[in-house]
């Protein structure tokens, strides 16, 4: 039995990670701003007989982030898997976005995972075992405004960490899903089917998480769920930059 700490656990991919990990018998530490949603999810998953902690925190608040870092360093109840999932989207027109919103976006996608990885790593290395999961995106392989840049950072640090710490039992996996049906798009004010993306490009959260967990368990540094998106990522390595930029402009 292992214990996983999941940020952004109240909805979307974070909640699906919680469901699938609990179903296989893992204990959980659920982190998000919405305490009510976390408590409801904990009640749902508690029926599976696993231990669940609820840790409400706004990760952009330094004091609340520190509480999560402290939980990761608690060796009496160690965390074996850290899932950095919390995030939010931005409009693609950088020049129109408020710069303070862009900074918050950068901090949540990069600074927060950096701090949490650093907090978790010492104990994982001492135990000789650990899994770090950074929820990135297929957008990391596209020229797609600051969102893609943030996600690319998660890909590259995961690749480096696995090479550096894999021989000592700790791996990092950047999970790079394509368009997936979750609350993420609704929070951007985009109802399902209105994102300008054809239906065949959409994935379901249960499929994305199930495939990513297989890659995480194997210690892979990058997980691109589904054959269609694996093919797209392979194609993006050889298409001209202008074509890739047009592809990156699709959807929101």
Cβ atoms 237, 189 nearer than 8 A = no
- Tell me: the pLDDT tens digits for 77-102? 999 999 999 998 878 788 999 999 99
Grade residue 240 by pLDDT with cuts at 50, 70 and 90.
low
Cβ atoms 40, 64 nearer than 8 A = no
Cα Rg, the chain, nearest whole Å: 17
- Tell me: the pLDDT tens digits for 28-65? 999 999 999 999 999 999 999 999 999 999 999 999 99
What is the per-residue pLDDT for 37?
Answer: 97
- Tell me: the pLDDT tens digits for 214-232? 999 999 999 999 999 999 9
Q: Which residues are catalytic?
A: 147
Side-chain-facing half-sphere of 67: CA atoms under 13 Å: 16
Mean pLDDT score across all residues of the chain: 90
Grade residue 195 by pLDDT with cuts at 50, 70 and 90.
low
Grade residue 131 by pLDDT with cuts at 50, 70 and 90.
very high
Of residues 77, 64, 69, 67, the one with CA closest to residue 121: 69
Kindly list the structural domains of the chain, giving each domain's residue range(s) and its CATH number in brackets, ordered by start.
3-248 (3.40.50.720)
- Summarize the chain as % helix, strand, coil (round to 5): 55, 15, 30
pTM beyond 0.75: the answer is yes
What is the per-residue pLDDT for 251?
Answer: 47
Grade residue 188 by pLDDT with cuts at 50, 70 and 90.
very low
């Amino acid at each position: 039995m292992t214990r996983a700490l999941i940020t952004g656990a109240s909805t979307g991919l974070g909640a699906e990670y919680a469901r699938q990990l609990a179903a296989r018998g893992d204990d959980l530490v659920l982190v998000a701003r919405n305490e009510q949603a976390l408590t409801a999810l904990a009640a749902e998953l508690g029926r599976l007989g696993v231990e669940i902690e609820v840790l409400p925190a706004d990760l952009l608040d330094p004091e609340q982030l520190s509480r999560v870092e402290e939980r990761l360093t608690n060796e009496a109840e160690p965390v074996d898997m850290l899932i950095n999932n919390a995030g939010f989207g931005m409009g693609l027109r950088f020049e129109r976005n408020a710069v303070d919103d862009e900074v918050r976006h950068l901090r949540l996608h990069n600074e927060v995972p950096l701090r949490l990885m650093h907090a978790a790593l010492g104990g994982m290395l001492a135990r000789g075992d650990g899994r770090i999961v950074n929820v990135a995106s297929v957008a990391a392989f596209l020229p797609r405004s600051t969102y893609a840049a943030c996600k690319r950072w998660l890909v590259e640090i995961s690749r480096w960490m696995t090479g550096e710490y894999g021989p000592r039992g700790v791996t990092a996996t950047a999970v790079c899903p394509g368009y997936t049906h979750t609350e993420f798009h609704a929070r951007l004010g985009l109802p399902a089917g209105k994102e300008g993306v054809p239906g065949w490009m959409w994935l379901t959260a249960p499929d994305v998480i199930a495939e990513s967990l297989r890659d995480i368990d194997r210690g892979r540094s990058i997980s691109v769920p589904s054959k269609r998106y694996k093919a797209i990522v392979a194609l993006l390595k050889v298409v001209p930059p202008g074509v890739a930029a047009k592809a990156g402009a699709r959807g929101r």
